Amino acid sequence: MLSRSRLRRLSTVLGGGAALFGVAPLVDPRLFGRLFGIAAVDDRTVATAIRSVGVRDLVIGLGLLRAARTGDDRDLHRWLVARAACDAGDLVAVALAVRSGERDRRFLALGALAAGATAFGAALARAAR
């Protein structure tokens, strides 16, 4: 079992990481796409989708940071569940692409990041309950 102060510190790490991770696709979706082996990054519609995910990660990360700072456990729990759900959705999306034949190592690494973030966020959400 985590102490409340440790839960807040770990939630701050997750929130800060999510916010920072969200900046790159927001600012330069093509570079982010190339780094993680996402095809068709020069297509503006693909860049729009990547940028949208960046906004999502930035906003949820900032929400987690605020909730961890204020110490409201119910609010923190809601943000942690939202983060874990989004990461789980990313993991499912990557898994579907892999099932369809995608094998780019960089893309698989993105899936591994999503898997780790899902597990970490879900564990923190359980602790915050």
Domains of the chain by residue range: 4-128
Question: With pLDDT > 70 as the criterion, what percentage of the chain qualifies?
Answer: 100
Q: What is the mean pLDDT of the chain?
A: 97
Q: What confidence tier does 71 reach under pLDDT thresholds 50, 70, 90? A: confident
**Which phi-psi region, left, alpha or beta, contains residue 4 (left: φ > 0; alpha: ψ -120 to 50)?**
alpha
Mean pLDDT of 98-102: 98
**Cα 22 to Cα 52: distance, rounded to the nearest angstrom:** 9
Mean pLDDT of 69-74: 93
Residue 1 confidence (pLDDT) above 90: no
SS3 content of the chain, % helix, strand, coil (to 5): 85, 0, 15
pLDDT in the model for residue 60: 98
Residue 84's contacts (CB-CB under 8 Å, 6 or more residues apart) are 117, 118, 121, 122, 124, 125
Q: What confidence tier does 3 reach under pLDDT thresholds 50, 70, 90? A: very high
Which tens digit of pLDDT belongs to each residue from 22-67?
Answer: 999 999 999 999 999 999 999 999 999 999 999 999 999 999 999 9
Q: What confidence tier does 85 reach under pLDDT thresholds 50, 70, 90? A: very high
Residue 53's contacts (CB-CB under 8 Å, 6 or more residues apart) are 22, 25, 90
